[in-house]
Structure 1
């Protein structure tokens, strides 16, 4: 019986030491990882019109309305495209070939998309992103909610705008995609992305 007790003690001791050592390594690695996380300032880059307010678990980002000058090129092309489509469709109908007018439907859809991209942000005005605990909400300043969801599934991306060449900041949750700000300089877009990602990482 004594031999069995000694053997048990002898076998258990290395395992206890190994477990303790493993926990120490994990603790050190965890501490090191947290130390490496970058700090993100609430102060936007100089010249930015974005304002930020953070109180505890709530982050509020006030996003200014789009500038008209950033929509001129797309808006001009969209208006010209839609006008040409309207003239062509009217001419076909006047010639008695109403069936041929159906071929203009894809062009109408493209024109409507360009006009929406142009005037949508202008008509929306200023907007606000609110991240409060495990929920997020994107709304107009008058309180109308444009989109909302769960913070745990939220991602913030920076994409290149194919029209303006600027950077768009996009929120994605599953299949839902929300463009919160577009046409930003790269420095401003990356700062905004880092700010949002830093805040929501605690809820992942």
Structure 2
């Protein structure tokens, strides 16, 4: 079975309502950020390792269909890409550090795909939720382009909405470790990241 088909395997779906746009939680003690770096299972794993991150949610962003299902998104036509909403404590980690982690967990030169997963639903993107996040996101993208002297395919698009994926996708890497490790290994994610970023690949901090 092709690896992309393995990732797109269908199970019974549970539709969850979308989250309203907001960079800050109600209590103003945590902040939110949305990142798309290919398979959201892998992106969740990357950010769950970051000190100061208090929660991650796999889902979809960047499209024009409300409350899409996983099957709808990967089939195409909704405009969404797989994304992860990161809740973090700004007193412990800042958005700039989250951007550092993002870039070292993505192939910034791949268009409409990431690693073995192909199609617009796997495009990489940053979804800044306010003016400061946009400034930092654009600056970080410019820095990557300058570092490698190449055009960067990763989009920077204003955040509109985030829709959580079905329950079985949440914390998949932790709940289904054998299947997850097989998928990630066969997809060549770590090898490609190391090819691009060297010792910085899959970083969980900026140190």
TM range (shorter): under 0.3
Q: Which has the larger radius of gyration?
A: 1
Instruction: Point out the structure with the larger strand share.
Output: 1
Instruction: Point out the structure with the larger helix share.
Output: 1
Q: What is the TM-score with the length of structure 1 in the denominator?
A: 0.23
